[in-house]
Every structure is written in C-alpha cells, then in structure tokens.
Structure 1
Amino acid sequence: MLARRASRQQGEEAGRLLYLQAVAAARKPHFYRAGGVPDTLDGRFDMICLMAALLVRRLRRTAPALAQSVFDAMFRDMDASLRELGVGDLGVPRRVGAMWQAFNGRCHAYEAALQVEDRQLLSDCLARNIWRGSPPDEATVGRLAREAIALDRALAQQSDAELIAGRVLLEAGPA
C-alpha cells in the first residue's frame, strides 16, 4: 500500500513538473513579440492550453496516468491563479469549469488536426482560439501552426523515461 501511495505521489510530482515546463514554454516571449499572440490573460491561457494539449497528447499514448496528473496540475494552478486574481470562492468553480470546457474543446480540435498533420486545419483552430477569429495575418497563424506540429513531432521522439521523471523539452527546430 505504501509503495502504491509513493508511486502515485511521484506521478503527481512528475505531472506538476511537466505542467510547469509547459507553462514556461507558453510564456516564451517570441510567441507574443514576433508571434503576434495577444499578451493578455486570454492569450496566455490559450498558449498554456496549446502547450498542455501537445504534452497531454503525447502522454496519453504511453502514460495516461501521467497525462491525468498534468491535467490535474493545470487545473489546480488555474484555481489558485483565479483566487490570486481576487475571484471569490463562489465564482472559482464556475470559472474553472469554463476553463476546463475551453481546454477540452481545444484538445479535441488540436488532436484532429495533429492526427493528420493538417497545417491548415490547425491554423484555423489556432486562429479561432488564440486570436478569437481575428488573427493579425495568415502568415503569423501559419508560423504558429508549423511550430505546434514541430513540437508535436519533437514530443513524440522524447523518451517515456524522461517524461515519467518529469522532464520534457518543449522546443523544436525551425518550423
């Protein structure tokens, strides 16, 4: 019983570490400066959703419990962030629920595009979600779609052992 509990705690810690790395990747300045992603709460949330969706997609294949741990860490963080922003106790569950629905919808949309590496479909999803249907231009959206596909490929090459240990490299070569 103690071994199972220790294993669960290790999985939760690995999920938390992976999630924090996804957040760090989502906060990279190039997304907001050259990449045209709105530097707003919504823009940052959407980039975290994209990075977490890519990570969860990879983990679901070989480590579904770890994928769940990343998801759990994400929504614990969202809950804490809302509280830090001053959202009252009664409003937090409703807002977290809306965030969960948004994340879930984005995961399904990104999955459909990434499954077949359809850059145009992914571009359409990114334009709708990150720029609320009004992207700066097609080239900007296309660059982000190419980068997301490259990240997805890079994640596929990362070893299960590294991921299970809570280490991920959310970087890809030129897209």
Structure 2
Amino acid sequence: MALFGLFRRKPHERAGYELYGAAVAAARQPYFFTQLAVPDTLDGRFDLVGLHVALLIRRLHRDTDPRGAALAQAVFDAMFADMDTNLREMGVSDMSIAKRVKRMWEAFHGRAQAYEAPLEAADRDALAVALARNVWRGAVEAGSPAALRLADIVMTMDAALAAQPVATLLRGQVHFPEVAA
C-alpha cells in the first residue's frame, strides 16, 4: 500500500503546471519584446516569466480559499522544476545547477517583493521604478514610456487575475489579458 503513495501526484500539481504554462505563454507575447524593447535574452525572458508568475501567485495568496496558497506553491514548484530542466538542457553541469536555481529563486523572490507594495498601493510610478530596475536591469528610466506602459499592463493583469474565480484557477485555467498598443 505504501508503495502506491510514491506514485501519487501532489495536490494541485497538474493545475500548477497548467497555470505556469499559461504564465509562460503570456510572458512570450511579442509585444513585450517588440514594442517595449524588453531584452529578448535569457534574463529578459526570465524576468517576464517571473513577473507573470509573481502576479499569479499574488492572486492565489490573496484568496480566502485555503487551496489558493497550496495552488500558489504548486505554480512556484512548476516554475522552478522548469528552470532546473532548462538549465540541464542548456548543458549546465549537475554540480552548479543547485547554485543557479538558488540564485534564480532569490531573484524571483526579490522581484515579487519589489512589485508587491506598488501593486497593493496601486502606485503606477513606484511600480514603473521596480520594473525598470528589474525587467530592463536599469537600462531604461523609470519614467520612460516603456516602463510606464508595462506598469499599466501589470496593473491591468493584476486586476484581471483578481477577478478570476479560484474554482477556475484550481482547474488549471487562467486568462492573462492580451497586450497591445
């Protein structure tokens, strides 16, 4: 009987992977790279994926349903399992993967914290500062049209995610708004 327990999925694992996949797809919208000039590099892609995942996790943690926090953990786990897999596929040695994943986790956590207060306060300018510092690594000014436009997009996404019922998210379904000029 105990042997079968080894093969059981964790609660919300499938939904976590599906939500993570939707966040990745939303982060890959060409608009971010073409119109906002987010660097189309590993770092730029990581920052956009992290931004979308942070918004999703924020939504799930804010829900009164206790399953929201468990689903948030499943999304987080899916993200870092994917990061581990991608590093391996890129040929990173087994010896350094743990260190790199830890640095990625720290970067993700720091960015999520940097976005939290401006989102909570609905402070577009403070959010633009955090986005300019993290997404463009300081290569654009916080008051630039790109940083301000991304702040607007992020605030719209945050509101759209907040409006989605937890029951839908628990089924692994989420809708990130399309972005356009």
Q: Distance in 2 between matches of 1:52 and 1:141?
A: 19
Backbone CA RMSD of aligned residues: 2.3
SS at match of 1:90: helix
The one-letter code matched in structure 2 to 1:160 is V
Please say if 1:109 is aligned against 2:110.
no
Q: Distance in 2 between matches of 1:168 and 1:20?
A: 10
Are the aligned partners of 2:31 and 2:180 in contact in 1 as well (CA < 8 Å)?
no
Q: Which residue is equivalent to 2:57?
A: 56
Please say if 1:131 is aligned against 2:136.
yes
Q: Which residue is equivalent to 1:45?
A: 46
Relative distance call for 1:85 and 1:59 in structure 2 (3 A) is: same
SS at match of 1:99: helix
Q: Distance in 2 between matches of 1:99 and 1:146?
A: 26
User: What residue ranges of structure 1 are gaps of 5+ in the alignment?
Assistant: none
Are the aligned partners of 1:150 and 1:173 in contact in 2 as well (CA < 8 Å)?
no
1:152 to 158, 167, 180: 158
Q: Which residue is equivalent to 2:29?
A: 28
Q: Distance in 2 between matches of 1:35 and 1:141?
A: 8
How many residues get paired?
174
User: TM-score of the superposition, structure 1-length normalised?
Assistant: 0.93
User: Which is richer in helix?
Assistant: 1
Q: Distance in 1 between matches of 2:165 and 2:152?
A: 22
Once the two structures are TM-superposed, the CA of residue 9 in structure 1 deviates from its matched residue by 3.6
**CA displacement 1:90-135 (0-9 Å, x = unmatched):** 0100000000000000011111110011111110000000111111
Once the two structures are TM-superposed, the CA of residue 30 in structure 1 deviates from its matched residue by 0.6
> How many percent identity over aligned positions?
51
Relative distance call for 1:5 and 1:91 in structure 2 (3 A) is: closer
Q: Distance in 1 between matches of 2:177 and 2:8?
A: 28
**CA displacement 1:63-91 (0-9 Å, x = unmatched):** 00000000000000000000011100001
**CA displacement 1:35-61 (0-9 Å, x = unmatched):** 211101100000001000000000012
Q: Distance in 1 between matches of 2:95 and 2:6?
A: 32
Q: Distance in 2 between matches of 1:91 and 1:173?
A: 37
Relative distance call for 1:174 and 1:5 in structure 2 (3 A) is: farther
Are the aligned partners of 2:132 and 2:138 in contact in 1 as well (CA < 8 Å)?
yes
User: What residue ranges of structure 2 are gaps of 5+ in the alignment?
Assistant: none
Q: Distance in 2 between matches of 1:147 and 1:39?
A: 18
Are the aligned partners of 2:60 and 2:72 in contact in 1 as well (CA < 8 Å)?
yes
Relative distance call for 1:55 and 1:100 in structure 2 (3 A) is: same
Relative distance call for 1:30 and 1:173 in structure 2 (3 A) is: closer
